[in-house]
Amino acid sequence: MGRIGVFPPHKLVVCTLISSEDLLSPVRKALENRFGPIDYQSPLIPFDFTQYYEEEMGTDLLRCFFSVQTLVDPSTLSQIKIETNRMEESFAVGGNRRVNLDPGLLALSRFVLATTKESGHRIPLRDGIWGEITLLYMKKDFQPLPWTYPDYATRVYRDILLTIRALYKEQLKQLSR
């Protein structure tokens, strides 16, 4: 029989879509105020994979990845998603979001995104939040799955997550000392 243990801490990554570059600094500040110092910020990446957000957020959207220095208990992902949804509302104008925040947890073996949308490949966490294994780490790289969003399957996104994974791996080494 296996013994019940404690989850290892995970790396919080907030995948951010913004409708204007002017929002980048205030979004970063809001994330730091709530979750702690940011230890990685990706360059801005044009987001042109879908028109899903255009009606609400407009065109010419930009993606940015932030990782948080403070590692988190993975069982808190649903609460983190609820808090990032509140942050989105705080940046909204006229009921329309200008910011989309998708928190995820990076472990050495996978990258999991939180979502409010149910699907067969997602696991209920709590409070209407689902978890999706978006990428698996195998053969020294993040591998997309049949349901992985096309943007997360790109080399650009996967390279960003590999950079964050290296930071996380070093943090785990320091914790074990």
Give the pLDDT score at 50: 87
Global pTM value: 0.96
- pLDDT class for 8, splitting at 50, 70, 90? very high
Give the pLDDT score at 102: 97
- pLDDT class for 174, splitting at 50, 70, 90? very high
Question: Do residues 104 and 121 touch, judged by C-beta distance below 8 A?
Answer: no
Q: What mean pLDDT is predicted for residues 15-35?
A: 98
Render 130-152 in DSSP notation, one character per residue.
EEEEEEEEETTEEEE-TTS-TTT
- pLDDT class for 177, splitting at 50, 70, 90? confident
Give the pLDDT score at 132: 98
CATH class as words, domain 11-176: alpha beta
- pLDDT class for 104, splitting at 50, 70, 90? very high
Q: What mean pLDDT is predicted for residues 94-113?
A: 97
Q: Name the token pair of 12.
A: 């919080």
**CA 135/CA 115 separation, integer angstroms:** 15
Residue 147 has pLDDT above 90, yes or no: yes
Look-up: residue for tokens 């200008």? 98
Mean pLDDT, rounded, of the chain: 96
Question: Do residues 133 and 79 touch, judged by C-beta distance below 8 A?
Answer: no
Nearest to 111 by CA among 75, 71, 79, 152: 152
